[in-house]
Amino acid sequence: MGGARQRAYLEAIGITAWVARDRAVEAGEEIGAEPVPDPVAADWPQLQAQVAGCARCELSENRTQTVFGVGDPAADWMIVGEAPGAEEDRQGEPFVGRAGQLLNAILRAVGLRREQVFIANILKCRPPQNRDPKSEEVEQCMPYLQRQVELVRPKLIVALGRVAAQNLLGSSEAIGRMRGRVHVFGAAEIPVIVTYHPAYLLRSPLEKRKVWQDMQMALSVAGQVP
């Protein structure tokens, strides 16, 4: 196919900026491609768009969609989990499966509705077979969560489970040792309370009592005396 005909054909199937393979690098400049956006200065809609289009790690290749987070973007409480599971990947919302039902019940027990808090995860994309996040995935994804925290400016963060707690706090301590004291996150030193992940509570219901204690501590840190 000659140059003009080929271009017409490619345009007809929706490829409007065709260039030869060896010029592909220059093509970005020709069609005015944006540089990879930096979450650092993004506002909320920009951050949502950046996350939706993110291809910083290989998890982007197999996701159905990204899971940005849900709730009140000006919430006093921010809840941080690990990563989307199968149902979250399907629905595009964090904590919508069985663990999510339990999280909603935990929040209700301290007088909070799901809509009143902001719920996010360390990772915005589902790891295959729900494996633990890899450190390079956390490294690529963390700027999004950092910016979310800066924009929400919550009174406190509740970290759900070991993966959330260790990655938020840059710690390798066991979760049992991280519970029971107030940590801080980021330059703004947002208080962080560590508790067990609701998926763990589904397997070990007797531990719910400890989560109740952790939530009492969270209430007092938030200035909502239990």
Residues in contact with ligand URA by CB under 6 A are: 81-85, 88, 94-95, 99, 121, 199
CB of 119 to ligand URA, least distance (A): 7
Cβ distance to ligand URA smaller for residue 33 or 105: 105
Measured between alpha carbons, how far is 87 from 94 in angstroms, rounded to an integer?
9
Tell me the sheet residues that pair with 118: 71, 78
Residue with Cβ nearer ligand URA (93 or 218): 93
Judged by CB, which is closer to ligand URA: 60, or 224? 60
Q: Which token pair is 212?
A: 């109740």
C-beta of 121 vs 195, nearer to ligand URA: 121
Q: How far is the CB of 162 from ligand URA (least distance, A)?
A: 11
Q: Are 122 and 83 in contact (CB under 8 A)?
A: yes
Q: Closest distance between ligand URA and the C-beta of residue 191, in Å?
A: 20
Output the smallest distance, CB 61 to ligand URA, in A. 20
